[in-house]
Structure 1
Amino acid sequence: MSLPRVAFIGTGGTMASLGRHALDIQDYSTLGQVMATETIMARVPELAMVAEVIARPYGAVISSRIGFKDWRALAEACHAAVDEIPGLAGIVIGHGTSTMEETAFALSLGLKIDVPVVMVGAQRPATGLSSDMPMNLLNAVRVAACPDARGMGVLLMLNDEIHAAREVTKTATWRMQTFRTPDFGVLGQADADKVAFYRRPLRKTAPNTEFDLRTMESLPRVDITYAYADSDGTAVRAFVAAGAQGIVSAGFAPGNPTPWEAEALAEAVKGGVTVVQSARVGSGRVVAGAKMREQGILAGDNLNPQKARILLAFALTVTRDPAEIARIFETY
């Protein structure tokens, strides 16, 4: 019986990094040694036991530098893999953990392929003592090859846990269990005997969206302003002056900026900037109350600020109608 075929696109990150010695699990990035996709695979020969893994080189990129240009390039790389590899069961993308949740959400909004795409990274470099890279990569390949993973959009796999791109966020600086889905929990787990799913996302996801990353030349500028005691709206006015077409307010729970920041956001709306209210707490919905509706500010639902920023930027590529943007936030 032949094994499933899975493409592996490596972009660098901790999982591809080499340290000076086994205890170098903090400053390894200063060494600047990053493995190519094929070299990463060679360090995990057990991959051959679960799938025929096909390397698709991309290039090493520090995840803190990854943004729209790489999202579009990765979308093109995923489509090319599907076109060029007969019978492809799924795709795994190796990625640094800093922005992995954002890349995952962007791809989940803008891909037009129906094979599973699984993002994977590591909290410790490949050379680190008890590195999580080998098992994370092996499990990501298993999930990508699993028929039950189809139709869930882009998934994220770390620490034996499977998360939905829309819902997951990084919650700890160093811990292995850093990725969490605060409101709803994991979709499933990759255990020793099988990949087990227990729920499916309900919001629309790739490929059944109104967005296509490959056709986007750029994204409109969307910034995030963070609420804190005494925040006075200076950041909001600076973003507007810099040409922001959208602003996400990361407000206090349940979704309120300071009065002074609220004034600046209301001014921005009057000036034609689309404002979406999110919350800085990382869990729970923001609801469009009477005051928000009066000011023309839209609700970000339960998306964290960084995810709300991506969805607002995507929405602004297809419409500037506030009602339509509100619909998009209720859909994805």
Structure 2
Amino acid sequence: MSTKPKVAIIGTGGTISSMGRGPLELIDYGAAGVVLDVHGVIARVPELALVADVLPVPFKAIPSTALAWPEWKQLVLICDRLSAEHPDLAGVVVTHGTASLEETAYFLSLTLKIPQPVVVVGAQRPASALAGDGPMNLLNACRVAADPGARGLGALVLLNDEIQAAREVTKTSTLRLQTFRTADFGALGHADADLVAWYRRPLRRLAPDTEFDVRGLDALPRVDIAYTYAGADGTAIEAFVAAGAKGIVTAGFAPGYVTPAMSEAMAAAVKQGVAVVTSSRAMSGRAAKTSKNTALGFVTADNLTPQKARVLLALALAHGITDLERVFATY
């Protein structure tokens, strides 16, 4: 009987699964059209057997630009099944493209209902690359998923030996290996060669102890993001409302302000029953809660990035939650 921890690996595609035309094809590797399934990814990293008994779980082999609500819900259901069918399961790893990795991770961190850790992992270089980062990222993700210290931290993100909280991490560079960073607070820990080292814990409410249960939901309400820039008018806000948006998140000037014309359109949207949440395009720090915005009915996203605020707002609206100030102060 093996003494290694059992770790399930769910494959969703992305760069970590992609094969380019040669070892130096680090950007246009998608042109080859070859994406490995989870079995193919695992086969290229035989060293995984040194740290875990791996359970491959085929899902989809698609870029993360194509992942959204349907796949997010399916991942929650797959994790439910794995936890129920394998009482000895230590943890779950989800391989994922880096484009929307942080959004999937945050969704899982809000909605999972299993006790096992879930670690979302990706790569900046394709599987075919010279000195690709995928194999070590995957191996370390398995180590973290199996580590007792990972329990109770919600979904985690692992790249470049760094363990990040799903709520806090964001992709900060297009090509650099250290792209996933937590600007204000730093990593939770490191997956070093000799041990998985932990240094802090997130304080906000995390799965599985959340009020969000997507297993009975058929869809999420439409929530859009409106980017602020010098001279922005209300056109985007009005278009989102016309398209049926139930919520709008603004990526405002730091610390969360928008232009007068945009604010006017946002106020009109609130009067039509649309939830409006203000965040900052700066990717660091809290969006300011001002008396003017409060009077207009806007809710602040705290320090969530616009894309993370969108995920939380959609879940809250889907569950009929109206006290959004509490939600954004809790999660």
TM-score greater than 0.5 by the shorter chain: yes
Q: Is the 1:319–1:325 Cα contact (8 Å) retained in structure 2?
A: no
Q: Aligned residue for 2:157?
A: 156
When normalised by structure 1's length, the TM-score is 0.98
Aligned 1:196-211 pairs, distance under 5 A? 196-211=197-212
Q: 1:143 to 1:178 in 2, by over 3 A?
A: same
Identity among equivalent pairs (%): 58
Structure 1 residue 213 displacement after superposition: 2.2
Structure 1 residue 62 displacement after superposition: 1.3
* In structure 2, distance between residues paired with 1:115 and 1:183: 27
Q: Aligned residue for 1:145?
A: 146
Aligned 1:1-332 pairs, distance under 5 A? 2-321=3-322, 324-332=323-331
Q: Is the 2:7–2:53 Cα contact (8 Å) retained in structure 1?
A: yes
- CA deviations on 1:155-202 (whole Å, 9 max, x unpaired) are 000000000000000000000000000110000000010000100010
Q: Aligned with 2:8: secondary structure?
A: strand
Structure 1 residue 214 displacement after superposition: 1.6
Structure 1 residue 86 displacement after superposition: 3.0
Structure 1 residue 110 displacement after superposition: 0.7
Q: Aligned with 1:89: secondary structure?
A: strand
Q: Is the 2:125–2:134 Cα contact (8 Å) retained in structure 1?
A: yes
Aligned residues: 330
Q: Is the 1:104–1:165 Cα contact (8 Å) retained in structure 2?
A: yes
Q: Is the 1:255–1:286 Cα contact (8 Å) retained in structure 2?
A: yes
Q: Tell me which amino acid in the other structure corresponds to 1:287.
A: A
* In structure 1, distance between residues paired with 2:8 and 2:321: 37
- Unmatched segments (≥5 aa) in structure 2: none
* In structure 1, distance between residues paired with 2:319 and 2:19: 42
When normalised by structure 2's length, the TM-score is 0.98
- CA deviations on 1:189-235 (whole Å, 9 max, x unpaired) are 00010000100010001000000122211001000000001001100
* In structure 2, distance between residues paired with 1:319 and 1:13: 33
Q: Aligned with 1:162: secondary structure?
A: strand
* In structure 1, distance between residues paired with 2:206 and 2:217: 18
Q: Is the 2:111–2:208 Cα contact (8 Å) retained in structure 1?
A: yes
Q: Is the 2:35–2:62 Cα contact (8 Å) retained in structure 1?
A: no
Q: Is the 1:13–1:96 Cα contact (8 Å) retained in structure 2?
A: yes
- CA deviations on 1:295-326 (whole Å, 9 max, x unpaired) are 010010000000000100001012352xx111
RMSD: 0.8
